[in-house]
Amino acid sequence: MRLRKTLSVASTVCLIALGYAVITYGQQNSSPAVYNPYPPGILPGNLDSEIARVLREIDVIEGRAVERWHALPPPTRLGMRPGPNPPVLKDTGTESIETLGELMLFDKNMSPGRNEACTSCHMPYAGWSGPIPSVNLTMIAYPGTAHFRAGKRTPQRHTYAPFFPVLQYNQEQMLFFGGNFWDSRATGYRLRNPDAEQAQGPPVDTQEMGFPDTACVAFRLKTAVYRPLFEELWGKRSLDIKFPHDTEEICATPGGAAVFSGDPEPIKLTPEERTEANTVYDHWGASIDAYEQSVQVSNFTSKFDAFLKNKYTMTSDEMAGFQLFNGKGNCNSCHVDGRGTTNPGQVDTSTNATANPPLFTCFGSANEGLPLNPRNAFYYQDKPDSYGFTADPYGFGYRDLGMGTFLRSGFGSGPNPNRTWIQQAPSVDGQFQVATVRNVAMTPRQCPTTEAGTGKPYFQKAFFHNGYIKSLKQLVHFYNTRDTSFAYPVTSGHCPEGTIERVTCWPMKEVPNNLDTTTGMLGLTDKEEDQIVAFLETLTDGFTAPYPNSDTFTGSCMKCNPATDPDCSPSRQGNGELIPTPPLPPCASEICGVEPVPNPPIP
């Protein structure tokens, strides 16, 4: 396909009339037109400098990975295999594929603008979640290769994601378990590995790395510095694909551009070459999964892991929090630790799973009843960018139904590969993956806490899928009081006078269907909430051994003074950035009107 160099005069006049800059396709490497449909205050003021800072940190880690690769003895490829054994790269095969995955994960060339790596949204020092405090505080979702398109959910932590099983529906329990992504759309149906399939999503997500064709990954790998390592592992000449002459121009244009007319494969390959490119894309996913499953990422080195081996004694608050986690707080009903859940007056006689350390997830999904977050940048992307792409044509008519949208193969999700699951969509509307709570409190060394007002510099995070919760204290308080007298029939930013949002006022749920009722009215005291937070902080890796690449943060910690800032506390953290939710239109029919429709209907 030959790309048009310029927009038509008529289209140009139209877009200029709408107030949007126009560029010629392929120009984004030099002077990209910035897409900014956002009201003042949605984007943080330091966004450009923070993106540049993270890219510099990515370069540091990629450089370390290159050095490790060059220092690694090549694996032994046996000329003859004893018996009927499969081919195995002996000795350093494991380290080789893990290093390849790391090099891929930190390669910012894997985006049209060569300005976005997988790790632009997932850095080690933040527990492999969002690395920019001001983004976590404001726009929630991270900007992609085309500035400033942005996604709709918070970046999930990479740690322990490889341990999630293939998505399946348990007929007896009538529940789904497994998959990756917040909505479990990386099912593992084909590769039988959800984490590997998750790694195949961001490179072609229009809001993230943004390639218009999966074959762009194979095309860019042909010139990657680590191509020899890829071919060592996946076969000589495995990248010898004959790409058309316009491939570079195609791969330099963000996905969703009008010039592609919705074609998911604008690179015109022969059937044989397309198969080869698809195979390379599968190897991309498998290699990244190998790294994320390695001890470089998922390494069980927390205080809690030391505690299981009698090498750490919990403080009184940490131990009290652990007991509350397994009892009155009811956290262990979903974030399972390998032991039973107890209630007051009961004694748990089960033993800790020391041979297979607990992952603190049930691999399922739940609707915790979060309010709609009006700071989510996705709602404002209802106008076309300079490529003619509109991320959210429904504006605030969008509702995030989570797994329910995925099972319907709906807007903003992915295709459901299992037709027998479709009928279950109404039973999972509003549900999102139960993430592991391991590393939920991980921060850079310079910023030793996630909590404001403790007297220490803090690293601002965003919790849950829509980032509405801003501290671990708020997270526990939400679970504790969501369904008490603190619940009000208002949207965020409109809590009644005399109440404090996130403290004594919880706005109404974005999706009220299928609510998890194991939480919401737990009866925890303020002190008990703090003790659960103390326990959650014992789940941060890096206690028994330094956590790899956690030393790369070069940004600034956040600070506040409780004496002058009423929001300088874990309870009110982020309240200075609350904005009123605009009047909400009904949920768009393209989302809430897709069969089988939500029951009851979602307003």
Residue 349 domain-assigned? no
Q: What is the predicted pLDDT for the residue at 353?
A: 57
The whole-angstrom separation of Cα 203 and Cα 288 is 12
Residue 30 domain-assigned? yes
Full residue range of the structural domain in which residue 251 is found: 9-121+199-293
The whole-angstrom separation of Cα 160 and Cα 233 is 24
- Residues 117, 121, 123, 129, Cα dihedral to 10°: -150
- For 348, other C-beta atoms within 10 Å of its C-beta total 13
Q: Which amino acid is at 361?
A: T
The whole-angstrom separation of Cα 315 and Cα 155 is 31
Q: What angle do CA 474, 439, 531 make, to 5 degrees?
A: 45
The whole-angstrom separation of Cα 317 and Cα 315 is 5
Residue 79: pLDDT band by 50, 70, 90 thresholds?
Answer: confident
Residue 232 domain-assigned? yes
Q: Please give the model's pTM, rounded to 2 decimal places.
A: 0.93
Closest by CA position to 49, among listed 554, 567, 574, 569: 554
Task: Render pLDDT for 25-39 as a digit per residue (tens, 0 to 9).
Answer: 444 444 568 999 999
Angle at which helix 472-481 crosses helix 526-536, to 10 degrees, equals 130
Residue 169 domain-assigned? no
Number of domains in the chain: 1
Q: What is the predicted pLDDT for the residue at 343?
A: 64
Residue 365 domain-assigned? no
SS3 at position 371: coil
Residue 72 domain-assigned? yes
Whether 516 contacts 368, CB under 8 Å: yes
Task: Render pLDDT for 209-249 as a digit per residue (tens, 0 to 9).
Answer: 999 999 999 999 999 999 999 999 999 999 999 999 999 99
- DSSP assignments along 582-595, one per residue: PPPPPPPHHHHTSS
The whole-angstrom separation of Cα 292 and Cα 127 is 12
* E runs forming strands in 106-222: 168-170, 175-177
Whether 358 contacts 438, CB under 8 Å: no
Residue 576 domain-assigned? no
Task: Render pLDDT for 446-463 as a digit per residue (tens, 0 to 9).
Answer: 999 999 999 999 999 999
Q: Which residue matches tokens 């030393």?
A: 551
Residue 81: pLDDT band by 50, 70, 90 thresholds?
Answer: confident
Instruction: Please provide the distance, in angstroms rounded to a whole number, between the alpha carbons at the two ends of the chain.
Output: 43
Task: Render pLDDT for 148-169 as a digit per residue (tens, 0 to 9).
Answer: 999 999 999 999 999 999 999 9
Chain centroid to CA 100: how far?
Answer: 21
Residue 31 domain-assigned? yes
